[in-house]
């Protein structure tokens, strides 16, 4: 698999497939390489934790695609590739001459995935984009935030990750189809499409009713109580998502009479009296700690969870049990904590096999695999086509 992508979305797609065993060759510019090497928070040793995480299990080839010789080398690699993922701005692959139509003529079994911000058609086709712009344009930001505040950005680039996983799913589906029909195909995934899918549970209601859900902070637009409450020592999230849990919830907070109050007895009545009910519950939840409330609510089988900070996650018993936070050894960064692969296969499990590569670390090895001789590789390095 050849990866032509930087920052988050494309590299996370490549990371997932590499975790599962794909030989992912990351094509980077000889000067600087993937922008993620430099634009995010960097460790004292100069390494980027983001780059180290989303580029493990890959090989790096430093190749200048703006040079004719660089393009010729890429074409040789593409002839042998099973998959290409490119996350260029619209039109760039075509201008370089490495678009699907051209490469499929020499490699009809190629699966070619284009991962873009806004998709292959429409007025924004050639517009550059990042996660935050797509959150704004795709409607997610408008429904996030407090009722009396402005739009709020999700604290993590979740749209990038959704796009990455949709791209990986598209690639795997196309590879399965290739096994059946014997030929590859183009796969198109946009962050915008992924963002629209991400809030299907809200957008689908709007498309039927025309009623905007608005902003409700941590609360649910259609169910009450379904939000975070401040406890004595932190925050707890509570979800009374069906009427049958209302009475157990009232028992858990030691207000059994509240269950029969006609203002709150049904989902519809609780929604109609949201402000009054939430104000009452806010005073109650401040009386105890998160741990005390968790014990009381869990005893009644009411959905609840602590609102963990990043600092809480490594020591959370369920996070520890998930195995998602692991330690990795890196030749330059040393030993550090990172994230594991999130899909567990019983018979062919994925995992971290090799550390994120240095820029161009595998250039010579990959070019030798493509049939280039040592003399030619040395000449290309001397003129700056490779590094």
Indicate which residues carry an active-site annotation: 160
Q: Show the tokens assigned to 65.
A: 């695609």
104 three-class SS: helix
**Residue matched to tokens 């609102």:** 307
d(Cα 16, Cα 45) in Å, to the nearest integer? 26
Q: How far apart are CA 328 and CA 380, in angstroms?
A: 34
| Cβ contact 28:65 at 8 Å | no
Identify which of 130, 37, 132 has the alpha carbon closest to the alpha carbon of residue 357. Answer: 37
- HSE (CB half, 13 Å, CA atoms) of 264? 22
CB 35 within 8 A of CB 353: no
For residue 226, what is the enclosing H or E element?
strand 226-230
Alpha helices in the chain, H assignment, sequence order: 9-19, 49-54, 68-80, 92-96, 100-106, 131-137, 158-181, 191-198, 200-209, 246-252, 267-272, 274-285, 290-299, 317-322, 363-369, 374-382
> CA 69, CA 104: separation in Å to the nearest integer?
20
**Quick one: angle between helices 158-181 and 191-198, nearest 10?**
110
């Amino acid at each position: 698999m050849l990866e032509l992508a930087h920052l988050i979305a494309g590299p996370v797609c490549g990371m997932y497939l590499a975790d599962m065993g794909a030989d992912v060759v990351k094509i980077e510019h000889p000067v600087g390489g993937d922008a993620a090497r430099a634009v995010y928070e960097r460790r004292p040793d100069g390494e980027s934790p983001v780059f180290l995480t989303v580029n493990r299990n890959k090989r790096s080839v430093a190749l200048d695609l703006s040079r004719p010789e660089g393009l010729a080398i890429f074409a040789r690699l593409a002839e042998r590739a099973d998959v290409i993922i490119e996350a260029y701005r619209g039109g760039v692959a075509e201008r370089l001459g490495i678009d699907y139509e051209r490469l499929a003529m020499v490699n009809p079994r190629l699966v070619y995935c284009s991962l873009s911000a806004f998709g292959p058609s429409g007025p924004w086709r050639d517009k550059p984009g990042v996660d935050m712009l797509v959150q704004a344009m795709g409607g997610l930001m408008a429904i996030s935030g407090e009722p009396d505040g402005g739009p709020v950005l999700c604290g993590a680039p979740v749209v990038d990750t959704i796009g990455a996983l949709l791209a990986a799913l598209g690639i795997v589906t196309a590879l399965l189809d290739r096994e059946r029909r014997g030929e590859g195909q183009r796969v198109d995934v946009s962050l915008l499409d992924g963002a629209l899918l991400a809030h299907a549970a809200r957008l689908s209601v709007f498309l039927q009713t025309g009623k905007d859900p608005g902003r409700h902070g941590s609360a649910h637009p259609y169910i009450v109580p379904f939000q975070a409450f401040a406890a004595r020592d932190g925050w707890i999230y509570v979800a009374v998502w069906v009427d049958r849990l209302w009475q157990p919830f009232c028992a858990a907070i030691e207000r059994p009479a509240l269950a029969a109050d006609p203002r709150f007895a049904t989902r519809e009545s609780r929604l109609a009296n949201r402000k009054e009910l939430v104000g009452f519950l806010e005073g109650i939840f401040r009386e105890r700690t998160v741990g005390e409330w968790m014990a009381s609510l869990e005893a009644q089988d009411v959905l609840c969870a602590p609102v963990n900070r990043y600092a809480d996650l490594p020591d959370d018993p369920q996070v520890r049990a998930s195995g998602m936070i692991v330690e990795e050894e890196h030749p330059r960064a040393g030993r550090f904590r990172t994230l594991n692969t999130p899909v567990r296969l019983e018979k062919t499990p994925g995992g971290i096999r090799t550390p994120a590569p240095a820029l161009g670390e595998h250039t010579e090895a990959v070019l030798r695999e493509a049939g280039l001789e040592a003399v030619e590789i040395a000449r290309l390095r001397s003129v700056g086509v490779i590094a």
